[in-house]
A = this chain, B = another copy of it.
Amino acid sequence: MNLKQQLTDTAKAAQSASRFMLTLSSAAKNKALKSMALALLKAKKDILAANKKDIAKAKGPKANKALIDRLSLNSKRIKAMADSLIELTKLHDPVGEVIKAWRIPNGLRIHKVRVPIGVIAIIYESRPDVTSDCIGLCFKSGNAVILRAGREARNSNLAIFSALQEVIKKYKIPAAVANIVPTTDRRAVDLLLKLDNYIDLAIPRGGEGLIKRVVSVSRIPVIKHYKGICHVYVDEWADLNMAQEVCFNAKVQRPGVCNAMESMLVHRDVAARFLPGMLKQFQEAGVKIRGCSLTQKIASRIKPALKHLGWVTQATDKDYRTEYLDLVLSVKVVENLGEAISHINNYGSRHSEAIITENYENALQFLRQVDSACVYVNASTRFTDGHQFGMGAEIGISTDKLHARGPMALEELTTYKYMVFGNGQVRR
C-alpha cells in the first residue's frame, strides 16, 4: 500500500472515531484518562529504554545539547506526563456547553452548543512529552488526533503511544481516536496536510521553519503557535521601581520560553533615570543588551561603562525581530506611546506585551491599540500561560487571530453548532 493511501485510511478511521467520541460521557473520558496516567507509570521501564535508543542516536559526533535536553526522559518527566493527564480529569469538559440560547418569534429555540472540532493533526518536533499531552487534551475535548512527531524521538514516542493505546483498546474505544504516523518519510507531512476531507485542523508546534512550511503546504486550516517577541514598554508615567521589577522578571525568570520579554521600550523622558539602574541589574544577571544609540549613550556613562565592557552593543533592525530565548535583550528609547505601539505592532509577533504606567488614558490606549493576544498593564508578560490564566493544560499559545488566540486549552479545541428545536415551523 502506498503512503498516500495509508495516510488517507488513517485519516478516514480518525474521522469515524471522532464521531464515536461524541457518544462518550465526561465521566467515561475521565476514567480512561486516569487509566492512561497509570499506564504511563507502568510502562516507565519500556519508555526509558526506548528513550535511551533515541538519545544514543542523537549523541553522534555533531551532538546538539539543547536537542538532547528536549529529548531526554527520566522518572520525574514521566511522572509529570502522568500528572498532566490526571489534571485533565479535573478540568471542566467543554463539550455540550450551551454558549447561548434564544427563541425566535416563530417559536424556534436556537441553541449554540460547543462540540469537538473533529480530527486534529499535530506536527511537532523532538519533545516526547508532547505526545501524551496532545493525546490527553484531544481526548478530553472529544477530538481524534493524528500525531506526526519528529524522527529524533521516534522510539520514545512509539513507547508512550503504545502505552496509551492499550488503555484506549481496553475501554473499547476505537483505536483511531489517537494515531501516530508510522513512517519517518518526509513526504508524509505534505500528504497529510492535503487530507482536508477528513482532517479539520492542523497545529504545527516547533520552529519557525516548520510552521512556515506547514502553512505553505496545508489545505487544512492551521493555527500557528509562533514565536514570542514580547515587549515591555516603560511609559513616561511609569512607577520606575515597578517597571524595573517587572522588566527583570519578564526577561530573567525563565528566558527560554515564548512569553519572556525580548525587547524593552522606554519613554525618552524617563530613560536617563530608568536605564542606568535597570541595565546594571541586567548586567549582574548576565543579560546582554542590544541597544539603540540613546541606550548605548546612557550605558557608556555608567562606570565602568557597560558599552565598553561589551554588555551593550548596537541594536539592528534584525535584533528587534529576534526571539532570543536567551539572556539577550533589545532596548529602544522611544519618543512617545504612539511610537511604542507602532514598534510593537511592526516588530512583534502578536503574543504578549505589557505597558508599565500610572496613566489611565495611556493604559487604555495601549490595551486597545496593541494587536497582540495578551496585553498587560503593570504586570509581567510571563503570565501568558494556560495554567496561570486558570484555563488548565494548553496545547500552546496561538499567535493567530482566527478561532483561538493566546493560550489554547480545552475550550479552544472545540467549535460549535446550532441545534434548533421546532415543532413543525416552515418558512413563509
**Which residues of A come within 8 Å of B, CB atoms?**
19, 22-23, 102, 104, 108, 110, 117-118, 196, 200-201, 215-216, 219, 221-223, 239, 242, 245-246, 248-250, 253-254, 345, 367-369, 371-380, 382-384, 388-390, 400-403, 405-406, 415-428
Contact = CB atoms under 8 A, between A and B. Distances in A.
Contacts of A418: 373-375, 384, 389, 405-406
A426 B108 contact: no
A239 B423 CA distance: 10
A136 B287 CA distance: 50
Given A378-B422, A379-B425, A426-B249, A221 B400 contact: yes
The 9 closest A-B pairs by CB, nearest first: A379-B422, A249-B426, A382-B427, A403-B403, A379-B425, A374-B418, A242-B424, A376-B420, A378-B422
A138 to B, nearest CB: 15
Contacts of A375: 417-420
Decide if the interface of chain A is mainly helix, strand, loop or mixed. Answer: mixed
Contacts of A423: 378-379
Contact of A380 (B19, B416, B425): B425
Contacts of A216: 219
Nearest to A99: B99
A9 to B, nearest CB: 16
Contacts of A369: 19, 22-23
B117 A401 contact: yes
Q: Interface centre among A221, A401, A403, by most B CB within 10 Å?
A: A401
Contacts of A382: 426-427
Copies of this protein chain in the complex? 2
Contacts of A367: 419
A415 B426 contact: no
A405 to B, nearest CB: 6
B417 A383 contact: no
B245 A108 contact: no
A376 B109 CA distance: 10
Contacts of A117: 401-402
Given A23-B369, A382-B426, A405-B418, 14 more contacts: A22-B369, A110-B389, A200-B402, A242-B424, A373-B417, A374-B420, A375-B418, A375-B420, A376-B420, A377-B419, A378-B424, A380-B426, A402-B415, A405-B417
Contacts of A221: 221-222, 400, 402
A342 to B, nearest CB: 9
11 contacts: A19-B345, A19-B369, A23-B369, A108-B379, A242-B424, A249-B427, A367-B419, A375-B418, A379-B421, A383-B425, A401-B415
